[in-house]
Structure 1
Amino acid sequence: MTDCGCEKARRDLEEYLRHEVCKTEYADIQEHLEHCAACRDEALVATTLTEVLARACKETAPEQLRDQVLAKLRAAHATA
């Protein structure tokens, strides 16, 4: 394994985090992240953002809000 450097690690970070790179590239990026605090921090931000977005996508609006939005859409559609 060889340290791939910051440029490659950052360029391929999203694919690395989704395990979409080959085993060799994965190992190279992993090694780089172990030794580079700046890239490791960037990977942490990307991971955290992905997790927060995934949780937000699972949330649903309260039923009352949903009903209000649908009523307004129906009203707007009826007048159009």
Structure 2
Amino acid sequence: MSDCGCERARRDLEEYLRDEVCKTSPEDIAEHLAHCPGCRDEAHFARTLTDVVARACKESAPEELRDLVIARLRSDPVT
């Protein structure tokens, strides 16, 4: 197994983090991240951002708020 280098690691980072097929082997990217603080920080940021967005997409508005919005939409005439 050889270190893949920053350029290759960053090029394939998103696919690696989503466990998708990429040009660079996952083992090589993992090895690179273990030894490169800059790429490791970038991977941590990307992972955190993905997790936050995923959580936000799963959350739903409280029932009272949804009812209020629907009532408001129904009460306003369409122009």
TM-score, normalised on structure 2?
Answer: 0.84
Unaligned runs of 5+ in 2: none
Paired residue for 2:78? 79
Deviations 1:31-60 (A, max 9, x none): 110110000001011111111112212211
Post-superposition shift, 1:71?
1.9
SS at match of 2:21: coil
Q: Quick check: which one's helix share is greater? A: 1
**Letter aligned with residue 78 of structure 2:** T
Unaligned runs of 5+ in 1: none
| Residue 34 of structure 2 corresponds to residue 34 of structure 1 | yes
Aligned residues: 78
| Residue 55 of structure 2 corresponds to residue 55 of structure 1 | yes
TM-score, normalised on structure 1?
Answer: 0.83
Pairwise CA RMSD: 1.6
